Structure 1
């Protein structure tokens, strides 16, 4: 099934700059509305954050200082089963979504009490509708028998989950293609020019014209946004990930530091480093990640590590997304976030609706996510 061909003077209705999880999810949402959509994908020279993430669909604790972001994260988690089902129906790919809840671990009573107070304040900000549980060591041991004795306790979020991010990337790509979407591969974009109507995009010496342009290029948005009267004050933040061999299933829930995939492998991470655009790994950080994983689950001391990688998060100064349409050049949008997995269902839903001109249809204004907040 292909998307409906609309009468237009443009090469397509919408150009999306960036073929990662963010750009693809928006493209899926737009193409469902019978819009002609083209994605410019930079190719293997891109930083490829979508291939290096942890795969969490995470709600608890997100938006502790921004209630709108907390609501958006929760909405996206609620929409995720529908997205997963639709991707499977169209592509035959199971993205391995599981949403049975997730644990955030604390290693001292002080740390646990601080987290409890933070989650309570989030619950108060949402009129009491923000579910979570607190489990100290004895209670935690009943839920996770293999937990280590040095873990003071944990908070449990029943809305949390995880997916296989590589299968997710593949499913979004195949869905987009099957519905008639087009890629400009190795399409590095350096010129975008607003015209009387629409926009021209120059990539690899070729010029194309589109009715709307969506900047979803991750770290590349910083240089592209000013071309369209927008801002994307993003900087890289490196996370390193370790993967251990397949072991007998013992961890049915994703956690803040360790998760077991459906295939049985163990994924460990959650490091945060300001090292510029260095995607590498370091022995020091990998050792810290491994030590923490063994502290959480001592049985992992016997597991063999099989690979490691570093990937760059896309971070704004406050950690929250930027969603904004250009006031100077209407029809140009910037979409920037570091939670491309969690927010994918929102990007394919209400964010795509907003870009399509149907409004945001939520109980808060998009203004809260404007980059103007950084210059106030």
Structure 2
């Protein structure tokens, strides 16, 4: 219909925002809808990690490398288009440090880094002494470490807000407090409109970027996917002197926790500072549905492990704790591309805890596919009709 958008993106988190920005940059008119405020879900509960260090060789690492290349130029372009204030995202290419606290972990970490180097990742084996020079407050129990110069951090809410501001500047819309209720189909069975709490929005395509709620929306649309919520909790300390924690630092257990299929609680230490001087401490993973109860034993486990890695944190007050839900795919790969069961329905979800880092590459890849451009990355591993995604989905 005249005046209708080409694409409606459901979900105004950083992945949905990146998809909308890339589509609008490709000349498509885009409307973004979200049942809450933009970036108020998973993105608002994120730490802002842009990592290559925690990805084993394979498709997700390739997507991470692509995103790491794209983020700086994307943010620079937004600053030029919108002005520095509207596009501020606190980009900090500070690097990452992974530390092992035992000989077995040190050997496993070194082997893991070697496989990444074979794929072009800058991963530098360093001695415990060098690690403590880089991070003076690290525990003396460190037995081995790897430095990742390309790890970075940004402020996820600011990044999503800047991406959505670009969509608006190009003639698109962002509608908060608007729930997506399903899709309307035309006579051929293809998407004709998105049904919302504010009325139908006629369009040629709908992008499901609902994060941990993507499975529920897919089912409502008639094309179910097995995407589940995986809860995580982060502690925030009082501001500390500059240089207390200089990089993103995590223990060698983190990679295993990210790739685990276990539904029970898992914790691993992740410590990093922010521009405000506070320190973010994570992380936890457990599949408890959408239960957002703050459990004291989870907070204690996170704090205890963080103090073991950075003893200086033992007496630092914690100002608050917050939690969120990551979109978990059973095979630990994002879902990016068209749904073959419903022409006009697209998905961009399943990034679990890496959505902020992978958003730039996801948006670019989805826009390439939707507009018919040559894809910037092989899309086959991220296809929607993977057995792992359909086997556990509701019939």
Distance 1:347 1:323, change over 3 A: closer
Q: Specify which of 286, 310, 320 is matched with residue 307 of structure 1.
A: 320
Offset at residue 186 of structure 1 (A): 1.6
Corresponding residue number in structure 1 for 2:99: 105
1:167 aligns with 2:181: no
Q: Is the 8 A contact 1:320 1:369 kept in 2?
A: no
Q: Does the 8 A contact of 2:18 with 2:160 survive in 1?
A: no
- Tell me which residue corresponds to 1:130: 121
Distance 1:45 1:171, change over 3 A: closer
Moved more, 347-356 or 365-374: 365-374
Secondary structure at 2:337 match in 1 = strand
Checking the alignment, whether the CA contact within 8 Å between 2:337 and 2:382 is kept in structure 1 is no
State the Cα RMSD in Å.
2.2
Kindly state the Cα deviation for residue 46 of structure 1 after the two structures are TM-superposed: 9.7
Partner of residue 326 from structure 1, selected from 312, 320, 339: 339
**Unpaired runs of at least 5, structure 1:** 1-7
1:268-289 Cα shifts (integer Å, max 9, x gaps): 0111122221223221111122
Q: Within 2, Cα distance between the matches of 1:183 and 1:44? A: 10
Shift in Å, 1:347: 2.8
Structure 2: runs of 5+ lacking an equivalent: 251-269
What's 1:25 paired with? 18
Counterpart in 2 of 1:147?
A: 138
Q: Deviations over 1:314-363 (max 9, x none)?
A: 1101221011312233322111122221012213323322222213133x
The match for 1:213 among 186, 194, 206 is: 206
Provide Cα deviations, 1:5-46, integer angstroms capped at 9, x if missing partner: xxx546210011111111111101111122110111111699
Q: Distance in 2 between matches of 1:190 and 1:158?
A: 44
Task: Check the 8 A contact 2:234/2:283 in 1, yes or no.
Answer: yes
Residue from 363, 372, 375 that aligns with 2:386? 372
SS of the counterpart of 1:311? strand
Please state how far the C-alpha of 1:147 moved relative to its aligned partner.
Answer: 0.9
Q: For residues 226 and 307 of structure 1, what CA distance do their matches in structure 2 show? A: 35
TM-score under structure 1 length normalisation: 0.89
Moved more, 161-170 or 17-26: 161-170
Matched, 1:284 2:292: no
The answer on whether the counterparts of 2:14 and 2:43 sit within 8 Å (CA) in structure 1 is yes
Aligned to 1:349: 364
Q: Deviations over 1:96-146 (max 9, x none)?
A: 11113201222211112112222323434x3xx232012332221122111
Q: Distance in 1 between matches of 2:143 and 2:292?
A: 33
CA contact (8 A) 2:94 2:153 kept: no
> For residue 27 of structure 2, what is the aligned residue in structure 1?
34
Shift in Å, 1:77: 0.4
Q: Secondary structure at the match of 2:205?
A: strand
The answer for the alignment partner of 2:265 in structure 1 is none
Q: Closer, same or farther in 2 for the Cα pair 1:205/1:266, shift >3 Å?
A: closer
